[in-house]
Amino acid sequence: MGNSQSSLPIYYNADPSNDAHSHSLSGFLDLASSAMGASVVRASDERFGAAENLIKAGAPLKSDAWVTRRHNPTADWAVIRLGSTGTISGFDIDTRGLDGDQAAAVSIQGCLATEDAKVDDDGDMAVAWEELLPKVEVSGNSRHQLALWTPTSAIYSHVRITLHPDGGVARLRVYGTVVAEATEGECDLACATTGARVIAASNDRLGSKDNLILPGLSTDPSTQGWKTRRTHSTDHSDWAIVRLAEPGFLTRIAIDTRPYDGDQPVAASVQACYSELANPERDSECFWYQVAPRTELNANKLHELEVTLNDVPFSHIKLVVHPDGAIARLRAYGQRVQEVEVEAAREEAEAKAEAALAAEIGFGDSTPVSSTDTEDTGAAAEPQIEVVAAGAVEFVVKPRKPEEPAGSHRVKKSKRTEKPQLMSPGRPKKVKPKRSSEDSNEILAADQFSSRAGELIQSLTSPVPQRKRARTRSRAEDDTDEGSAHAADSKPKRSSRKSKSRSKADA
């Protein structure tokens, strides 16, 4: 809502002396300027001066004001459509050039309406007006820069200035902050109509720094461009810092020197940074990156500069001109970080939905395993891979292996031998009964008897080593041994001892 329901003072004079170089309203844009695209929708009377004079960008001249006829029994009004919708922080009611023809008092109302909203004969619209500035007395040939103690939280698209009862006003400035609708895709993040602001500049002696980000081109000297004073030095440079409408990824930068011919700088470069503060010069942790190299500038030309680091988000850019001169407009095209994050979240959600669809298809479809394959190979057959098309995306689905019934035999491959092993189902663990001392003695005696019987059986059945077993010799072998007694010495001599079996035979 507006400020009409507050019991505290609504406004204060931001510049009582009318000669301050900067004040509390200096950092805001004039939303009611023709340079921003504002226009007069309708006025009650324009007998001695057109209402279009209210929104001119330049300073007023003599007889350059909106002036109505005298003796109005009610009040005169003019409805202005703002150049951009936004919140309002203050007003400048300028009566310079009017000394006796100014209105006695002025009040201002605002509303949020469509761009093509109609105004009736009483100055009303389809939506209700909210009071932004109560009735204020004004004097001739002076500026009344009235700042609101609390900027409006509501957004406005139209304002209505009311003269009580009649008279004239040279200029009306409506200072505020642009609140523009987000656009998809690439946009000019350094344009005033999207919410950008010029934070600071090294010098703007001959042309306002705010002209850099105005929409379109202008031949009016007051809005033509940003122009610095002459330095007559080759190592000097001037700069201007622009806070982008929103942090974004820069894609291209344009520097426009039209219609300057001879006033343009020799060269220019662009730097960028990211800072949460309005003025990054006050941020000790802020670092400026060179995003556009130093480029030579020509007269009356639009220069397109290549952008580096276009995958890094930035919140501010700094235009540096060497050594001085005039720049008409600065454009910084890019994509909002918020939009990129929304696109990434949407892609992630689509990927999750596709994965869920693939899992659902894979859970309900599986390839059965035949008993012949299990018997031949000794292992469960591998499920077949199926390609399922879902829309424009193809999924490779591996069905789950069938579950085995409880208590059944399954084949398991050994890691070492790669031979199937029969795995028996689990058996209940046997519990050994407790034994008495008599049972233990009987079992010990039985074990000893079994051990001795086992040793006897093993001695009878196990083969005897060749080196320990006695060999039975025949008579022919003995005769051979006696006949070979005179053999060569190199041959070993056999023993002539007779076995027990032969001695018994001779006897």
Q: Measure CA of the first residue to CA of the last residue in the chain; give whole Å.
A: 147
For residue 142, the tally of other CB atoms under 10 A from its CB is: 15
Burial grade of 318 (CB within 10 A; 0-12, 13-18, 19 or more):
buried
Cα maximum dimension of the chain: 179
Q: Please, are residues 3 and 10 in contact by the beta-carbon 8 Å criterion?
A: yes
pLDDT on residue 352: 86
Q: Provide the pLDDT for residue 264.
A: 95
Which pLDDT score is estimated for 402? 52
Contact of 330 with 316, CB cutoff 8 Å: no
- Whole-number pLDDT of residue 459: 60
How far is residue 33's CA from residue 83's CA, in Å, rounded to a whole number? 7
What pLDDT, on the 0 to 100 scale, is given for residue 428? 44
Q: Are 251 and 308 in contact (CB under 8 A)?
A: no
Beta bridge partners of 147: 12, 90
pLDDT along the chain (507 residues), means of 10: 60 90 90 96 96 95 92 95 96 95 96 94 94 96 95 96 96 95 87 94 93 92 94 93 95 95 95 95 93 95 93 95 96 90 81 85 52 45 47 47 49 43 43 51 55 59 50 49 45 43 44
86 neighbors 31 (Cβ within 8 angstroms): yes
Distance CA 198, CA 153 (A): 22
Report pLDDT for 450.
Answer: 56
Question: Rg (Cα) of the chain, in Å, rounded?
Answer: 51
Q: How confident is the prediction for the chain on average, in pLDDT?
A: 80
Block residue for tokens 């609101």: 148
Half-sphere exposure of 93 (CA within 13 A, CB side): 24
Cis before 165? omega within 30:
yes
Q: What is the pLDDT of residues 13-40, one digit of tens each?
A: 999 888 888 899 988 999 999 999 999 9
Residue 318 has what pLDDT?
98
Q: Which of 79, 90, 70, 78 is nearest to 23 (CA)?
A: 90
pLDDT of residue 219: 85
The SS3 call for residue 242 is: strand
The 3-state DSSP class for residue 245 equals: strand
The encoded tokens of residue 297 equal 């500038």
DSSP per-residue string spanning 90-122: EEEEE-TT-SS-B-SEEEEEEE---TT----TT
Nearest to 399 by CA among 362, 357, 369, 370: 362
pLDDT reported for residue 367: 47
Cβ density class 462-496: b for 16+ within 10 Å, e for less: eeeeeeeeeeeeeeeeeeeeeeeeeeeeeeeeeee
Rounded CA gap, 189 and 245, in Å? Answer: 5
Structure tokens at 62: 């003599």
